[in-house]
A and B are shown apart, each in its own frame.
Chain A
């Protein structure tokens, strides 16, 4: 298993979905811009197909909407923004993530009672956007 595979396994299942909603809550964006803003959230690889499919699924579910925006350098691009339903899903996702974090904190704390956890293993892992 590669380092990328290992770190991908460390991320919550379907984590890309709330990440995209969060990024769009911060600021409406087009696809390439989202790809550039994903790495700090743990997605270091570049898989535009996975992002594209996620955006389509979110739009199909009414969680994001998109509109054409003119580009001076080429064809018009789709700019995505989160909808009310998307914000509600984001809030719900955060509740679930917070619960997971609480359980993980307890686990790591108990583990650390008998094993020193190196600082490097406590950080946020990276994963390819296309790894799931």
Chain B
């Protein structure tokens, strides 16, 4: 098992399971439910779930898997960290009160002013 891939899938699985749990969708989804949720083939996912159980991040719960306290913490933390840099405001963006939110025409005018063309 490629350890980098393990880390990537670990974050994906823990974040998804945290989200499912916090939204009241599933407390202990089965491997099949998780594979549908993540759009990953179940045979691909199952060995990783076993690995995360061995690592103490998940525990078997009936037919499914539940987050351990450690898994829950990791899922929540990595969820927040993953997009921290993506959504910061960038230079040149208009502000919250900009008139461009009122209609597509005004958004196009706003963009035209900011970018020099109506690019979309």
Residues in A lying within 8 Å of B, measured CB to CB:
25, 30-32, 48-49, 52-53, 59-62, 64-66, 68, 71, 74-78, 83-85, 87-89, 91-92, 94-95, 130
Contact partner of B83 among A53, A60, A89, CB < 8 A?
A60
| Chain B residues with CB below 8 A from A95, complex form | 104, 120
| Docked CA distance A101–B22 (Å) | 38
Contact partner of A87 among B19, B25, B89, B101, CB < 8 A?
B101
Taking the nearest CB of chain B, how far is it from the CB of A67, in angstroms?
Answer: 8
Report yes or no: A65 in contact with B87, Cβ–Cβ below 8 A: yes
| Chain A residues with CB below 8 A from B23, complex form | 30-32, 48, 77
| Chain A residues with CB below 8 A from B39, complex form | 49, 53
User: Which stretch in B43-51, B57-65, B72-80 binds the other chain?
Assistant: B72-80
| Docked CA distance A62–B90 (Å) | 11
Q: Mark B73-107, 1 if CB is under 8 A from A, else 0.
A: 00010011001001101000110000011001001
Whether, in the assembled complex, B116 has its beta carbon less than 8 Å from a beta carbon of chain A, the answer is no
Number of B residues near A (Cβ < 8 Å) is 30
| Chain B residues with CB below 8 A from A76, complex form | 22, 76
Report yes or no: B24 in contact with A74, Cβ–Cβ below 8 A: yes
Report yes or no: A75 in contact with B86, Cβ–Cβ below 8 A: no
| Docked CA distance A30–B39 (Å) | 21
| Chain A residues with CB below 8 A from B104, complex form | 91-92, 94-95
| Chain A residues with CB below 8 A from B108, complex form | 91
| Docked CA distance A62–B85 (Å) | 9
Report yes or no: B120 in contact with A74, Cβ–Cβ below 8 A: no
Contact partner of B20 among A48, A89, A91, CB < 8 A?
A48
Contact partner of B19 among A78, A88, A91, CB < 8 A?
A78
